[in-house]
């Protein structure tokens, strides 16, 4: 007994329905659908995914180029750099800032491209399986279960990853910076979305999970400040001492050997302590990052020579101890 042929196509399958209308043969229509129709749909989905991926990467590249340009002159103006010295400061610092911007923007762009590619082709893969009449419900259910398991069992991993993204995006630190992460202090050697690697002054390599970093002290960003206390005799004319130190500060700023190390003219703050027969005059030096200690040592040498030349008595013994928080005579970044 002959059975009436039935349309094997779904309403949304146009190519299959067209073949059915032309032939009216159920078997031929099914063969056409499996040999031509479904592969064509899968290829179309893959091509659509490739085009969408290209479009998303173009958008990300544009965002990366915008981030690489930055706003250096505006940032430098907040450092207290005078208008007359802004051009020199831009020339001195542009290379460092530009390198940091390019590295950070490149890292974020690479990460965003990887995420967008993974999402797009995961969706294309699932849609292709659905077009082949494969049941994707178990995959979706498995993805849901995996998400729940990830949320409960891998919280620290997710926390590390998200913290790493914000560290890179906010430029909290980068490779080559000297940072204090609490238990570990040293020079950053590598930054990944999950872990930060740094080497301390003793040569020990520390691996710090980004999710465990609660605070960051970065000694390598923008500028550093050091206070130098110059001790003079209690009987000296402090106005004269201030004038001599101010002249020395101006000469220090104009010294070509120090070009690019100082951010602004050293400031003679004034009397810091008076104790017994000793008075300490404080001078503030603002320098490039990690250069404050060497600049402070050189300033002390020149201050000693200048004070001796001017006949200003320098005590041989300073009666007070180091102030809380560190020895300012050795220099402290602020």
- Cβ-contact 105, 67 below 8 angstroms: yes
Does residue 191 sit in the same domain as residue 255?
no
Does residue 275 sit in the same domain as residue 311?
yes
Does residue 228 sit in the same domain as residue 305?
yes
pTM recorded for the entire structure: 0.54
The total domain count for the chain is 3
Q: Look up the domain containing 197 and give its range.
A: 163-218
Looking up residue 197, the CATH number of its domain turns out to be: 2.30.30.60
pLDDT value for 224: 85
| CB count in 10 Å sphere of residue 301 | 9
Whole-angstrom distance, CA of residue 223 vs CA of residue 264: 10
Task: With respect to residue 237, please indicate whether it lies within any of the assigned structural domains.
Answer: yes
Does residue 189 sit in the same domain as residue 274?
no
From first to last of its 334 residues, what are the pLDDT tens digits of the chain?
Answer: 344 456 556 555 555 555 556 665 666 566 655 555 567 677 788 888 899 999 999 998 888 887 766 544 443 444 444 434 444 544 544 555 666 667 777 777 877 888 888 889 888 888 888 777 777 777 777 777 777 766 666 678 878 888 888 887 777 888 888 899 988 899 888 888 889 999 998 989 999 999 899 999 888 877 888 899 999 988 889 999 999 999 999 999 888 888 878 888 899 998 988 887 889 999 999 888 888 888 899 999 999 999 998 888 877 766 555 443 334 333 333 3
Task: With respect to residue 20, please indicate whether it lies within any of the assigned structural domains.
Answer: no
pLDDT value for 330: 33
Three-state DSSP state, 295: helix
pLDDT value for 245: 93
Residues forming beta bridges with residue 228, ordered by sequence position: 283
- Cβ-contact 168, 176 below 8 angstroms: no
pLDDT value for 94: 52
Does residue 198 sit in the same domain as residue 254?
no
C-alpha distances (whole Å) from 237 to each of 147, 244, 250, 253, 267 are 74, 11, 20, 25, 19
Q: Please count the residues of the chain.
A: 334
Does residue 86 sit in the same domain as residue 168?
no
Q: Which of 177, 203, 218 is the last residue of a domain?
A: 218
Three-state DSSP state, 193: coil
- Cβ-contact 79, 263 below 8 angstroms: yes
Looking up residue 310, the CATH number of its domain turns out to be: 3.30.70.100
Q: Which of 202, 218, 234 is the last residue of a domain?
A: 218
Task: With respect to residue 95, please indicate whether it lies within any of the assigned structural domains.
Answer: yes
pLDDT value for 269: 92
Task: With respect to residue 313, please indicate whether it lies within any of the assigned structural domains.
Answer: yes
Task: With respect to residue 26, please indicate whether it lies within any of the assigned structural domains.
Answer: no
Does residue 326 sit in the same domain as residue 254?
yes
pLDDT value for 322: 44
């Amino acid at each position: 007994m002959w059975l009436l042929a039935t349309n094997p196509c779904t309403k949304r399958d146009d190519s299959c329905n067209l073949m059915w209308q032309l032939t009216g043969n159920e078997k031929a229509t099914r063969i056409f659908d499996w040999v031509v129709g479904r592969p064509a749909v899968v290829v179309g989905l893959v091509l659509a995914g490739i085009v969408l991926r290209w479009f998303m990467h173009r958008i990300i590249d544009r965002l990366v180029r915008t981030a690489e340009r930055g706003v250096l002159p505006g940032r430098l103006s907040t450092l207290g750099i005078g208008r007359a010295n802004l051009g020199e400061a831009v020339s001195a610092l542009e290379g460092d800032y530009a390198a940091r911007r390019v590295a950070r923007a490149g890292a974020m762009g690479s990460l965003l491209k990887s995420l967008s590619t993974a999402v797009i082709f995961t969706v294309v893969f699932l849609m292709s399986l659905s077009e082949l009449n494969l049941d994707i419900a178990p995959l979706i259910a498995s993805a849901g279960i995996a998400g729940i398991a990830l949320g409960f069992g891998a919280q620290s991993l997710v926390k590390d990853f998200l913290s790493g993204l914000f560290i890179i995006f906010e430029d909290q630190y980068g490779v080559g910076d000297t940072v204090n992460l609490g238990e570990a202090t040293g020079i950053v050697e590598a930054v990944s979305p999950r872990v930060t690697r740094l080497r301390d002054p003793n040569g020990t390599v520390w691996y710090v999970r980004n999710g465990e970093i609660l605070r960051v002290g970065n000694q390598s960003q923008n500028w550093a400040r050091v206070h130098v206390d110059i001790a003079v005799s209690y009987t000296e004319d402090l106005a004269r001492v201030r004038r001599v130190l101010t002249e020395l500060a101006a000469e220090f700023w104009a010294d070509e050997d120090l070009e690019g190390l100082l951010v602004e003219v050293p400031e003679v703050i004034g009397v810091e302590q008076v104790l017994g027969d000793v008075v300490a005059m404080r001078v503030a030096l603002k320098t490039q990052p990690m250069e404050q200690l060497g600049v402070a040592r050189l300033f002390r040498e020149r201050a000693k020579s200048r004070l001796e030349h001017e006949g200003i008595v320098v005590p041989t013994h300073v009666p007070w101890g180091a102030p809380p928080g560190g020895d300012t005579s050795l220099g402290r970044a602020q």
